[in-house]
Structure 1
């Protein structure tokens, strides 16, 4: 340790006041007769301090770093610990502890401080050699209740080996084992010594598994860089550098738990635990060691699992194995991601400067949820499952994680996005492209399965959209189980790794694909992604799309999900009186494994819905569309929105901050902001500005807002983003009004059960409860709000303003009832025997044409009822009710199509739900 200039004393708590510490100049401390070392603080000169400020002020701190260090300083002696000897790490930590008023470093081992001493105060007292052994200096520092910084290893040194020079692939041991010194000191003192790991990340480029280069030989490998390499990394990336704080290590608590260990054994165990914690923090930022896509493909082609499938495919096709291998390699080359840190950083800079702050008014992030995700990432790979509403979704999660110091995921994307020139960029930013259909490709699913398993084994986070494609309606789509099933199968084989599922809700106040979505819902063909669509981004960049919201649902441990599934399977076996059977390592049979996949999918969709934030745009759209008249005054809109906010708060929905003030009260101004956004998009028009005509003596009145009929589908998109919160109440309200506002409780329950089954593809219901529990909870909530009354066994619509809310709930579902009745009418030709079958495209075209005629004649009241997604879901519901049979691209009569009771009864129910006040 180098002799440092003297400093002013710090109080017994070892926590100095906030702000830079100014040390008075003075003479060297007097030595005792034993020539004991007095711990001092390094104090740079003003010129050196200006360099500190310029380069270290950019370091992004772990949010828990300062409170963690401060908390540990209050309960014990803080010793900062870093992985590899680095003068740069010392300077950065010295700057940060002084800036934040944390315990200052009074000792550090083997850092070579003589380099900095000419630039600090007291340079005349600089010593080029140690004045006291490191172990003695460390003891003196801690006995004086000061803090120290310990480096655990040296960077690997260039060593001669005969005629060659080489570096080891990991750090070298320090000359003095100061961890053992701490153990010996802790046994003699009652005050706990707390080791706080510090991990500075000067570059986000991960280590490589490729053969060592000459640069690695001279400057050290990326995972254990030498001093020159660290310094060059710092100069290139200092504006993006990070400090991550590992979990503190209590030496006294460890020794109390391991009293049988010798000092040397305890020191080794502590050192290993600290290195593990610091490596875990580095891995959070950098991700796994980088392998080229070519190497990944080679390893997959050599794996026994893939070889087995290749041999089977060749035998089945009666072809040479080498031909099958060539095809498989081509498929893998097109499949595999090729993540490149430079491309990821380029995307981050582009998104940060051009997208998030130009077309959006910023990104609102669930910080508490993000910390839950970070904690889960410390345990193992993440499976990130965002909602999918826009192509922007591909960028949001990856960029947020990169910005927040978490390794970006590899993203499962459709091969429709692999077009030039966007495809190569997406591949290098982490996308792997999967064919949209596996039809007729028996080997391809096995290759995808092997690749998914491989990237989880390597430790990559994985992102996939459980809905499969983008939602064109604003609602979550029913989950697709293909890729999710592969991930579950891979995770079942990796029981030694903790894999966590993370539901994510991505919300927009406006969607950039709005026009194309309206076109598709109205019956237009989906346009393939192309360079033309990419160039249209210029028009997007000139528009404003409000805020972007990113919220996290509760994380789900895969081990916990499997344990639940095993317990449920055992419970079901006992209920049937059958013996409980263990099926392989997971304890699940193939049917139970499929049930597990479905359970995870529905839990994820439920969590996404629950985490969805109520944006000003969604609230405003819902209030506008729940009003049945041609226009709504501003005062009516405010009252309606305020009531809806109260309902949403009662349902524990997440309300966007602009909607409510600091005291939790509704902000009417938020509607004005959303209306401006809608008027800019021509979704709403103000037909009367409310100013009146002073020349005629007309007093000012309220503005009146109308929705252009041709824009209702676009506005419904925003309503649908939060519709799921209201669905249980809306189903009850619609059924109650269909029975003239009064019904027996059990009759109402049966009606709601039937309608909820009809709409099972439209709405994602709670995954943690049965129908009766959901019904009782919703009815109880409505009763508490005065919206309904329950007298004996009868349920009645409430009175006054609360009762009026029942009609608004029911109005939210009117377009679905109209659309489903339109679908029912569109299969009359099959029922009447006029045709034996219909093509799905032909049926859809005819249904849309019929809907357009009925809308123009007033038989359908809402323009959004004539929409392709609703009709497609309605057709699936008719198939479920056995009124039709959907076989591939053809529709045929179902088993109950001739049963007049079934057809007429369903028609009657739909009509009753439409003839309501």
Structure 2
């Protein structure tokens, strides 16, 4: 950016590139870093070990080019007077940070728009949305077919690409790549992802989660509701969208997201997963034991952990009250709660308790003036937070909400536990 300011007559273009893998070499490092372990230093031993891994099958790599970003128009949009800035390398004009933030966000958004959805991505989206990361083969075939059709009928962008393999071919490819295993059974085979392989699949799910975020949100609305008004679905969507948008770098404004929600509801109605009345005001799903309800539940699970994470942060704030927690203390409480929840409820996804994700959510609450810092650095919050808690009751089941509230600690109990741990270590 500063180099461009010195010679702004020479155009600068940033070219976003999406690189899609079907298997990653440094899987153990990925798991460790997501779980909070420090990044390991490079060594000759690690290099030799990596050379041995090169003989393994890593599948195909897709390279898609996103929409280029021209720096001059971007700066014009941030501050029309940017050309008057000094070329002093130590100077920091007021528009510089907003420009850097806008550029970095645009790069990631455009990378996401150039996404390639490969067979491993589809398997990860579906299997990780089941309690034991396993499905009957017939159910898996149907769910992959639905997910592919959904992505194709509701394209995320005109640069998105998706595998041409059929559902059966995708399963066979997943077995070949050792992403899933087949468990033989007289009543029908089961496909599963087990142990470390299931954790590694989270990488491939997370890379394409943004593609199905809208559909997953609509499905979340019917986890605990047989019927909802369209207006209520769109209202709740407007509440949650800014936070999901910030986390997944979604490209739409709020009205565009609402239009996409409408199109997604229509897709589900066309597929028979939802029904609507003649006035298109009310939307219903079939009973919980039906195939349609099961398929909706799998789609909802793709985003549910994200919504649960938001509720953890809000629950921690409300339980401790205003003017009690600093941002750092809130992050710590959220991380501890999520870690404990994952231990108790088979949430085998290290990113569920990633402190950076909680930090991003808290920052978004600040930006929207739902929370702010008092003179002593403690967090205060707006009455809007209570309305978000009420809305959460519509989406999250009583069991999930009760589990989170029960596990969310108060600041003083955490401080006491840390003090006891410190005393024990010194004795």
TM-score tier, shorter chain, comes to 0.7 to 0.9
Q: Tell me: CA distance 1:914–1:498, structure 2 relative to 1, closer, same or farther (3 Å).
A: same
Deviation at 1:764, TM superposition (A): 0.8
Partner in structure 1 of residue 145 of structure 2: 642
Separation of aligned partners in 2, 1:723 and 1:625 = 12
> Does the 8 Å CA contact 1:523/1:868 hold for their aligned counterparts?
no
1:660 is matched with which residue: 153, 158, 164? 164
Q: Please state if 1:796 is matched with 2:296.
A: no
Separation of aligned partners in 1, 2:5 and 2:275 = 50
Superposed, 1:617-766 pairs within 5 Å as: 617-628=120-131, 631-652=134-155, 654-656=160-162, 659-660=163-164, 666=166, 668-679=168-179, 684-686=180-182, 688-690=183-185, 692=186, 701-708=187-194, 712-737=198-223, 740-766=225-251
Superposed, 1:841-852 pairs within 5 Å as: 844=332, 847-852=334-339
Partner in structure 1 of residue 418 of structure 2: none
Superposed, 1:550-565 pairs within 5 Å as: 550-559=63-72, 561=74, 565=77
> Does the 8 Å CA contact 1:631/1:704 hold for their aligned counterparts?
yes
Separation of aligned partners in 1, 2:37 and 2:61 = 28
Partner in structure 2 of residue 774 of structure 1: 257
Deviation at 1:893, TM superposition (A): 3.3
Separation of aligned partners in 2, 1:609 and 1:839 = 30
Deviation at 1:704, TM superposition (A): 0.7
Partner in structure 1 of residue 34 of structure 2: 521
Give the paired residue count: 379
State the Cα deviation string for residues 228-254 of structure 1 (Å, max 9, x = none).
xxxxxxxxxxxxxxxxxxxxxxxxxxx
Partner in structure 2 of residue 187 of structure 1: none
Partner in structure 2 of residue 537 of structure 1: 50
Larger CA deviation: 706-715 vs 514-523: 706-715
SS of structure 1 residue aligned to 2:20: strand
> Does the 8 Å CA contact 1:633/1:705 hold for their aligned counterparts?
yes
Separation of aligned partners in 2, 1:826 and 1:892 = 17
Q: Who wins on radius of gyration, i.e. which is larger? A: 1
Q: Tell me: CA distance 1:744–1:635, structure 2 relative to 1, closer, same or farther (3 Å).
A: closer
Separation of aligned partners in 1, 2:172 and 2:135 = 14
Partner in structure 2 of residue 549 of structure 1: 62
Q: Please state if 1:831 is matched with 2:312.
A: no
> Does the 8 Å CA contact 2:131/2:346 hold for their aligned counterparts?
no
SS of structure 2 residue aligned to 1:762: helix
Separation of aligned partners in 1, 2:82 and 2:341 = 56
Partner in structure 2 of residue 612 of structure 1: 115
Q: Tell me: CA distance 1:916–1:533, structure 2 relative to 1, closer, same or farther (3 Å).
A: farther
Separation of aligned partners in 2, 1:524 and 1:862 = 18
Deviation at 1:737, TM superposition (A): 4.1
Q: Tell me: CA distance 1:638–1:712, structure 2 relative to 1, closer, same or farther (3 Å).
A: same
State the Cα deviation string for residues 695-753 of structure 1 (Å, max 9, x = none).
xxxxxx53212333665432221111111111122223323545x24333333222111
Separation of aligned partners in 1, 2:268 and 2:342 = 36
SS of structure 2 residue aligned to 1:546: coil
Separation of aligned partners in 2, 1:722 and 1:708 = 21
SS of structure 2 residue aligned to 1:609: helix
Separation of aligned partners in 2, 1:529 and 1:828 = 44
Q: Please state if 1:807 is matched with 2:297.
A: yes
Separation of aligned partners in 1, 2:351 and 2:71 = 41
State the Cα deviation string for residues 170-210 of structure 1 (Å, max 9, x = none).
xxxxxxxxxxxxxxxxxxxxxxxxxxxxxxxxxxxxxxxxx
Partner in structure 1 of residue 424 of structure 2: none
Q: Tell me: CA distance 1:782–1:582, structure 2 relative to 1, closer, same or farther (3 Å).
A: same
Q: Tell me: CA distance 1:689–1:802, structure 2 relative to 1, closer, same or farther (3 Å).
A: closer
> Does the 8 Å CA contact 2:246/2:364 hold for their aligned counterparts?
no
Superposed, 1:288-307 pairs within 5 Å as: none
Separation of aligned partners in 2, 1:533 and 1:630 = 31
Q: Tell me: CA distance 1:805–1:795, structure 2 relative to 1, closer, same or farther (3 Å).
A: farther
State the Cα deviation string for residues 397-451 of structure 1 (Å, max 9, x = none).
xxxxxxxxxxxxxxxxxxxxxxxxxxxxxxxxxxxxxxxxxxxxxxxxxxxxxxx
Separation of aligned partners in 1, 2:18 and 2:143 = 26
Partner in structure 1 of residue 410 of structure 2: none
> Does the 8 Å CA contact 1:743/1:795 hold for their aligned counterparts?
yes
TM-score (norm 1): 0.37
> Does the 8 Å CA contact 1:632/1:706 hold for their aligned counterparts?
yes
State the Cα deviation string for residues 116-155 of structure 1 (Å, max 9, x = none).
xxxxxxxxxxxxxxxxxxxxxxxxxxxxxxxxxxxxxxxx
Separation of aligned partners in 1, 2:242 and 2:335 = 24
Separation of aligned partners in 1, 2:204 and 2:194 = 15
> Does the 8 Å CA contact 1:605/1:764 hold for their aligned counterparts?
yes
> Does the 8 Å CA contact 2:322/2:379 hold for their aligned counterparts?
no
Partner in structure 1 of residue 365 of structure 2: 881
Separation of aligned partners in 2, 1:794 and 1:731 = 18
Q: Tell me: CA distance 1:778–1:801, structure 2 relative to 1, closer, same or farther (3 Å).
A: farther
Flag structure 1 segments of 5+ consecutive residues without an equivalent. 1-485, 570-580, 693-700
SS of structure 2 residue aligned to 1:705: strand
> Does the 8 Å CA contact 2:228/2:284 hold for their aligned counterparts?
no
Greater relative contact order, per chain length (Cα 8 Å cut-off, separation 6+): 2
Separation of aligned partners in 2, 1:723 and 1:836 = 32
Q: Please state if 1:895 is matched with 2:380.
A: yes
